[in-house]
């Protein structure tokens, strides 16, 4: 699992992918996104190279583009996807502790988060924290709703909805 973070600019993905390809690596599942002016890459790489070798392969690009590189050995293979069946939408006046409160309530039901993205909307005087979570649960909607019901009193709106994946 390769992690790269650096100030966003055009061409990061192209340079990183080219360096890895030229070193004989295969690129797998990836999440790449701009977060607060940084470009972040989390990328599964295979190809029989050690973590140190990968760091060496990427060193010139990383130096050039001021990227921080981190490599973790990971055994995850392809085709181990889980399909989310629950969507959680969260909104509240921005303050410390929203993520902790919501995810703790969810975790207590055994909820498995597959994906979480969040952003701060609104203006500087009244920022609003918005978070979308997709995940898996074998609990009923009612059970999960009950688990997060107490958050409403804290001014956090939490909407729990089923994700019905259509296969056709």
Partner 1 sequence: MAIRDILKLPDQRLKQVSSQVERFDAALELAIADLEETRLAGPAAVGIAAPQVGWFERVVIVDVSTKKGVANHGHLILINPEIEHWEGFEMGREGCLSVPDYTGNVIRATRIRLRAQDPGGEPLSFEMEGFEARAVQHEIDHLDGLLFIDRVVSRRTDLFQRKVYAGKGGASGGPART
x-marked contacts with partner 1 along 27-46 as a string, rule CB under 8 A: ------x-------------
3-state secondary structure of 2: strand
Q: Using alpha carbons only, give the angle 127, 129, 133 rounded to the nearest 5 degrees.
A: 165
CA distance 1 to 42: 7
In the bound state with partner 1, the residue whose beta carbon lies nearer, of 8 and 53, is 8
Answer positive or negative: Cα dihedral of 150, 153, 154, 156: positive
Q: Which of residues 45-84 bind partner 1 (CB under 8 A)?
A: 78-79, 81, 83-84
DSSP 118: E
Span 135-164, contacts to partner 1 by CB under 8 A: 163-164
Min dist. Cβ of residue 138 to partner 1 (A): 16
Q: Which residues pair with residue 80 across a beta bridge?
A: none
Provide the minimum distance between the beta carbon of 132 and partner 1 in the complex, in angstroms, as a whole number: 7
124 counts as binding partner 1 under rule CB under 8 A:
no
In the set 132, 136, 143, 146, which binds partner 1 (CB under 8 A)? 132
Say if residues 20 and 4 touch (Cβ distance below 8 Å): no
Residues that bind partner 1 (CB under 8 A): 33, 78-79, 81, 83-84, 115, 117, 132, 134, 163-168
């Amino acid at each position: 699992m390769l992690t790269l973070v650096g100030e966003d600019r055009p061409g990061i993905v192209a340079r990183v992918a080219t360096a890895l390809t030229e070193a004989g690596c295969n690129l797998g599942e990836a999440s790449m996104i701009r977060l607060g002016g940084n470009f972040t890459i989390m990328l599964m790489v295979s190809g029989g190279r050690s973590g140190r070798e990968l760091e060496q392969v990427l060193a010139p690009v990383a130096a050039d583009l001021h990227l921080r590189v981190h490599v973790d050995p990971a055994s995850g293979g392809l085709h181990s996807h889980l399909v989310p069946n629950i969507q959680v939408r969260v909104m509240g006046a921005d303050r410390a502790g929203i993520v902790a409160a919501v995810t703790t309530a969810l975790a207590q039901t055994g909820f498995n988060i597959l994906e979480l993205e969040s952003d701060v909307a609104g203006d500087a005087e009244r920022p609003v924290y918005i978070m979308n979570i997709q995940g898996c649960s074998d609990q009923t909607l009612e059970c999960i709703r009950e688990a997060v019901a107490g958050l409403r009193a804290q001014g956090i709106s939490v909407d729990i909805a089923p994700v019905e994946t259509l296969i056709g």
